A and B are shown apart, each in its own frame.
Chain A
Amino acid sequence: MAIIRTQGLQKNYGQVQALAGLDLTVEPGAIFGFLGPNGAGKTTTIRILTGLAHASGGRAWVAGREVTAGDGEIARHIGFLPEEPAFYPWMTPPEFLDYVGRVFGLSATERAARSQELLGLVGLTEVSKRRIGGFSRGMRQRLGVAQALVNQPEVLFLDEAVSALDPGGRKDVLELIERLRGQCTVFMSTHILADVERVCDTIGIIARGRLVIQAPRQTLLARYTLPLFEVEADYGFVTALRTWAEGIRQQQWVQSVSVEGLVARVHVHDVGMAKRALLPSAVQAGLLLRRYEMLRPSLEDIFLRLVGEGASV
């Protein structure tokens, strides 16, 4: 049985339709990457699923409870980390976690133990006596992860949780998320494809308020893989590269060609044909090459194909 399910979920902000009938299913235990360009409806979906916003239409269930009913029952079963978590600046991390523990009805002993455990998990034990007001963004994000885990949630919602962090901070938080595999279901929205490729086992792509596709990561990569060749010309061959690219675009074995500076990216239908014909045609066109390479297509290629070249990633 799905742990998260939405059925025709809609959300309108005046004339703007943020969600246009979203149908989504997330299996228990998954680390689900909810991927989409800016403004696609990712945050709106999370706000509805966590009870912070009301749907304009459709229904949604989380951990077996209907969230669109608005009875607040879901609160005991979820954890939530927004993009920029905010805290009471005058509190210390243990005080904030203690407050959260009290809200969840934990006893004093349970709260003290949980607080210590979580501060250790997110690496904030050494600064536990400092006030949160003086914390860096990365430290607040770590504390955000800790507060979202106090109740050992069945579902953890992360809204662009690592997007604004520096590479070190992002690595740490992603490692934390990876450690949660098997403990709870993680629903992670992001527009950073590398993060999704790194930790998520299932991916849903949303664009213009609708789900474009949802599949396990490997299935998605396998299904939408189009072999890709990159050809990099030497300096001074920009015009020649463009002329050659226009020429091969007409070939039947070529799916698409794009040129950026000195690099041409060629998606092909027939790898064998491409291997035989691509390099000779470049040489014949008088191109001097610096690099010729067959690449494994990335999630970014799939994403751009599915949501359209105009999407901002």
Chain B
Amino acid sequence: MNFLPALHTEWMALWRTYRLLMVGVVLLLFGLLSPLLAKYTPELIKLMPGGEAISQVIPTPTIGDAVGQYVKNISQFGVILALLLTMGAVIQEKNRGTAAIMLVKPLPRTTFLLAKFVALALMFTLTIALAGAACYYYTWLLFGALDVSRWLALNGLLLLFVFVYVALTLFCSVVAKSQFAAGGLALFLLFTLGLLGAIPGLGDYLPGHLLTWGSELMMGGSTPAWPAVGVSLALMVVALVGAKLLFDRQEL
């Protein structure tokens, strides 16, 4: 099926075009900054004119603030990076002609798509693991130790959340006629899921709820959100299978 050569090339592309480095630096930075910002924001506010009064009403930062900051930063920037790095993945190769030159060879279109998804998923796994380790270390230094297994579970849920948007954007990259159209379509899906998530009851079943579950886990709560996990996995599979079915029918 030639999956390994295709994956190797995708991975090399992420490395040689500095995309892996860029994502690593951005997420690592937010991993490091999240506990620092949580800890020192009240101190920073104190330094501002009139900040003394405001700081008195700000509660003392806790480990929960550090975790909350981390979840917010990594999910937001993870999704933005997922959109930016995935929106051109297929359409650029189709428009440039590299898809045609490779796909007349024994490289199935399914393999071509899957290699792109797996390479991006590997990149986010590696970089979120780095960010998670950095955040864990600084949180431990500034606030105290976190439960390791729950921390791993939170990062797993964050990863799944980002994977959903990688898969959806890959689908958009197959459907759209240009890189920017793919980005626009992916953004539309992102906002649609966000709006649907705000509907009481429905939000518990959507990918956004993964983040709520992750944060609650760290606070000692344990209301599982398996339906959201199931829907997220289903969305990922539907996006990837849909992309494959459409790509198979397209002419290059």
DSSP class of A's interface residues: helix, strand, loop or mixed? Answer: loop
Q: How would residues 154 to 167 of chain B score, 1 for a CB under 8 Å from any chain A CB and 0 otherwise?
A: 00000000000000
Q: Does B41 contact A (CB under 8 A)?
A: no
State whether B2 touches A103 (Cβ < 8 A).
yes
State whether A100 touches B105 (Cβ < 8 A).
yes
Q: Does A53 contact B (CB under 8 A)?
A: yes
- Which of A47, A75, A84, A85 touches B106 (beta carbons < 8 Å)? A75
- Which of B17, B104, B249 touches A80 (beta carbons < 8 Å)? B104
| Cβ–Cβ < 8 Å partners of B13 in chain A | 88, 90
State whether A52 touches B103 (Cβ < 8 A).
yes
A155 to chain B, nearest CB (A): 11
| Complex: A84 Cα to B95 Cα, angstroms | 12
| Complex: A75 Cα to B102 Cα, angstroms | 10
Residue tally, chain A, CB below 8 Å to B: 29
| Complex: A110 Cα to B102 Cα, angstroms | 19
| Cβ–Cβ < 8 Å partners of A86 in chain B | 96-98, 100-101
| Cβ–Cβ < 8 Å partners of A87 in chain B | 98, 101
| Complex: A95 Cα to B106 Cα, angstroms | 18
Most interface-central of A76, A85, A99 (chain B CB within 10 A): A99
B120 to chain A, nearest CB (A): 16
Interface residues of B in 20-37 (CB under 8 A from A): none
| Cβ–Cβ < 8 Å partners of A90 in chain B | 12-13, 16-17
- Which of A47, A85, A91, A104 touches B101 (beta carbons < 8 Å)? A85
| Cβ–Cβ < 8 Å partners of A151 in chain B | 105
State whether A84 touches B97 (Cβ < 8 A).
yes
Q: How would residues 52 to 89 of chain A score, 1 for a CB under 8 Å from any chain B CB and 0 otherwise?
A: 11100000000000000000100110101010111110
Q: Given known contacts A86-B96, A87-B98, is B5 in contact with A102 (CB within 8 Å)? A: yes
State whether B9 touches A75 (Cβ < 8 A).
no
| Complex: A216 Cα to B102 Cα, angstroms | 33
Q: Does B108 contact A (CB under 8 A)?
A: yes
State whether B251 touches A102 (Cβ < 8 A).
no
Q: Does B107 contact A (CB under 8 A)?
A: yes
| Complex: A82 Cα to B103 Cα, angstroms | 12
Q: Does B252 contact A (CB under 8 A)?
A: yes
| Complex: A85 Cα to B97 Cα, angstroms | 7
- Which of B97, B100, B107, B252 touches A103 (beta carbons < 8 Å)? B107
A97 to chain B, nearest CB (A): 12
State whether A82 touches B100 (Cβ < 8 A).
yes
State whether B101 touches A53 (Cβ < 8 A).
no
State whether B104 touches A75 (Cβ < 8 A).
yes
Most interface-central of B2, B96, B100 (chain A CB within 10 A): B100
- A interface residue numbers (CB < 8 A to B): 47, 50-54, 72, 75-76, 78, 80, 82, 84-88, 90-91, 95, 99-100, 102-105, 144, 147, 151
List 12 A-B residue pairs with CB atoms under 8 Å apart, sorted by A's residue number: A52-B100, A54-B251, A72-B108, A80-B101, A82-B101, A84-B97, A85-B101, A88-B13, A99-B8, A102-B2, A102-B8, A103-B106
- B interface residue numbers (CB < 8 A to A): 2, 4-6, 8-9, 12-13, 16-17, 96-98, 100-108, 249, 251-252
